[in-house]
């Protein structure tokens, strides 16, 4: 591709094609916007992982056709993400179809066992996240939410505005009087 000597060609291809690919991805990111590599939704996460794989493929291309094909795939990933983000923003029905719902795992210091069972999140996973968030006591915990991306959010403090939990699925059994 660049040199007749195999060793030099491998080094040149790896270095030059990876550099060109990174500049290309930066250009796409600047065009599409900061959201390109966010993890706001499960779809964003998939696109981010796929982009990394395609970028590696661009750096490993053995000819210009392979590099070009990977560049087209990268463009397609960014384009699909952009289109889906715009549709999600305007259509609640579409968003519900492609987006997971966040789930309440803990509320006011109490574990939501049904939600933990359904989402297959272990008590030890939640406790690890509580430690990460510098929670000292269960009674400090206002809510723990398994987000659509698989991340776990911990909210602690004096009180919790109910708006923060809008759209979060609550699997607790209704309390009987």
pLDDT tens per residue, range 133-169: 999 999 999 999 999 888 899 999 888 999 999 989 9
Cα separation, 66 vs 60, in Å, equals 9
CB-based burial label for 125 (10 Å; 0-12, 13-18, 19+): middle
Q: Is residue 15 over pLDDT 60?
A: yes
Contacts of 94 (CB under 8 A, 6+ apart): 87, 88
Residue-level pLDDT at 7: 87
Residue linked to tokens 């889906």: 84
On the question of pLDDT at 26 being above 70, the answer is yes
User: Tell me, what's the pLDDT at 175?
Assistant: 62
Structural domain boundaries in the chain: 6-96, 103-165
- Reduce the DSSP state of residue 79 to 3 states and report it: helix
Q: What is the mean pLDDT of residues 18-36?
A: 89
Confidence at residue 176, expressed as pLDDT on a 0 to 100 scale: 52
Dihedral of alpha carbons 72, 74, 80, 82, sign:
negative
Residue 177 has pLDDT above 60, yes or no: no
CATH fold label, 103-165: CRO Repressor (3.30.240)
Q: How many CB atoms lie within 10 A of CB 110?
A: 11
Residue 42 pLDDT exceeds 80: no
- The Cα–Cα gap between 159 and 68 comes to 54
* Segment 10-37 mean pLDDT: 88
| pLDDT (0 to 100) of residue 5 | 76
pLDDT at 97 over 70: yes
Distance of alpha carbon 153 from alpha carbon 83, whole angstroms: 28
Q: What is the pLDDT of residue 40?
A: 72
> Helix H segments across 60-98?
64-90, 92-98
């Amino acid at each position: 591709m660049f040199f007749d000597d195999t060793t030099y060609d491998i080094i040149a291809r790896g270095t030059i094609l990876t550099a060109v690919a990174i500049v290309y991805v930066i250009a796409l990111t600047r065009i599409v916007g900061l959201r390109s590599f966010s993890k706001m939704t499960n779809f964003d996460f998939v696109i981010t992982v796929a982009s990394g794989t395609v970028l590696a493929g661009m750096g490993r291309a053995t000819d210009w056709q392979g590099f070009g094909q990977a560049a087209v795939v990268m463009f397609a990933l960014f384009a699909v993400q952009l289109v889906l983000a715009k549709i999600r923003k305007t259509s609640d029905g579409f968003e519900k179809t492609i987006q997971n719902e966040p789930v309440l795992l803990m509320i006011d210091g109490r574990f939501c066992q049904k939600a933990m069972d359904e989402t297959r999140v272990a008590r030890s996973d939640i406790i690890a996240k509580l430690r990460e968030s510098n929670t000292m006591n269960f009674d400090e915990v206002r809510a723990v939410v398994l987000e659509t991306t698989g991340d776990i959010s911990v909210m602690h403090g004096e009180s919790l505005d109910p708006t923060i939990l809008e759209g979060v699925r609550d699997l607790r059994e209704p309390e009987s009087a």
